[in-house]
Amino acid sequence: MSALPRSVLVVRLGAIGDVANALVVAAGLKRADPSIRVGWAVHPLAEPLVRANPAVDRVHVWNKAGGAGAFRALVRELRAERYELAIDAQRIFKSALVARWSRAPRVLGYDRARCKEQSWLLTRERVAARPAAPSAGAPARHMVEQYADLLEHLGLPRAPLEHPLPRSSEAAAWADAQLARCGAPPILVNVGASKPANRWRPERFAELALALAARAPVCVTGGAADRELARAALERLRGAPNVHDLVGATSLVQYVELARRARLYVGCDTGPMHVAAAAGCRCVALFGPADPARTGPWPAAAHEVLRVPPPCAPCGLKHCNQPRHACMDDLAVELVRDAVLRRM
């Protein structure tokens, strides 16, 4: 194992939850030597998580909507930085291509078994082979632990594993105003999930929010894309006391600051769940098709995962292919409500 590089490019383009978890790599590098210059290649959606982040010195944004010209501009920008090491933390072809075309003399990625789309062909170094999924009775390894494999390859300690998130004085002021409006630290009820198979019914979120609002203020959250999905829930919640509609009304950095002040997060397996966990907010996470041992809120001991898995789970599918979406439909409102009350 060679000496620690003086400049490192981390390529983890998206999504929001994956970028949040992969921040342990940047934090581990900075903890080992604060003088190491850490760059990060990212798509615009997750950019706020690395912009003004204490563990990231340089942000390289690749907006795919810009076509080939945007990719060429990204490559020129990366090469100008003369990184000594590029890390493909995403394990797919486009991320490996970005790492390789940065012209860093060292390009680190995962072992062949954990890579997709033959991305392992583009790396020059690979971490030691370890199972990404359960085999022979072995449990799945959380993605945070798998990101820590990259640190271990570089001779760095795996722990403590930290998720440094950016801080914004403007976003903090906004979150303080929300806290004052609520009158107490709120429960975040997040209605969205990017994968349809991970979603819980909107009307159940409404029923849950009404039940919880009798005990504590509730902020209903979600991205702009979740607004239509949440409409049925929000219509039922309109005018309800102690319930605040923030769906599509927060930036990512505002959400980070809100999560830092929240009492609890409850919602599905989605990016905001990982961001809330990284911000130190306890989570009650509703899981269906995914394996929480691999992608649940981290660290597991600080949070509660609710599952009623049918024989077909975990499947990891984006869309349920069964006649009935049992893994999410069998999560009753009463089950979720009781879990939240225990955590409160």
Domain boundaries, the chain: 7-153, 169-343
In whole angstroms, give the CA distance from residue 344 to residue 329: 24
Write down the pTM of the prediction.
Answer: 0.93
34-43, 160-169, 200-209, 311-320: which has the minimum mean pLDDT? 311-320
Burial (CB < 10 A; 0-12, 13-18, 19+), residue 25, is buried
Positive or negative torsion for Cα 124, 125, 126, 128: positive
AA letter at 11: V
Reported residue count of the chain is: 344
Matching fold, domains 7-153 and 169-343: yes
H or E element that contains 243? strand 243-245
3-state helix, strand, coil split of the chain in percent (to 5) is: 45, 15, 40
Provide the percentage of residues in the chain whose pLDDT is more than 70: 97
Rg (CA), the chain: 20
pLDDT of 123-144, one tens digit each? Answer: 989 998 876 555 545 568 999 9
Give the integer Cα–Cα distance in Å for 313 and 320: 10
Q: What is the pLDDT of residues 166-190, one digit of tens each?
A: 999 999 999 999 999 999 999 999 9
Mapped onto helix, strand or coil, the DSSP state of residue 189 is: strand
Distance, in Å, from the CA atom of 87 to the CA atom of 66, rounded to the nearest integer, reads: 24
CATH architecture of 169-343: 3-Layer(aba) Sandwich (3.40)
The per-residue pLDDT for 135 is 54
Residue range 187-195: average pLDDT?
A: 92
CA distance 129 to 143: 14
Q: Give residue-wise pLDDT tens across range 27-43.
A: 999 999 999 999 999 99
Secondary structure class of 267 (helix, strand, coil) = strand
Other Cβ atoms closer than 10 A to 344: 13
Tell me which fold the domain 7-153 belongs to. Answer: Rossmann fold (3.40.50)
H/E element, 188: strand 187-190
Please check the confidence at residue 233 and state whether its pLDDT lies above 60: yes
User: Can you give the pLDDT at residue 131?
Assistant: 62
Strands (DSSP E) found in 24-84: 37-42, 58-61
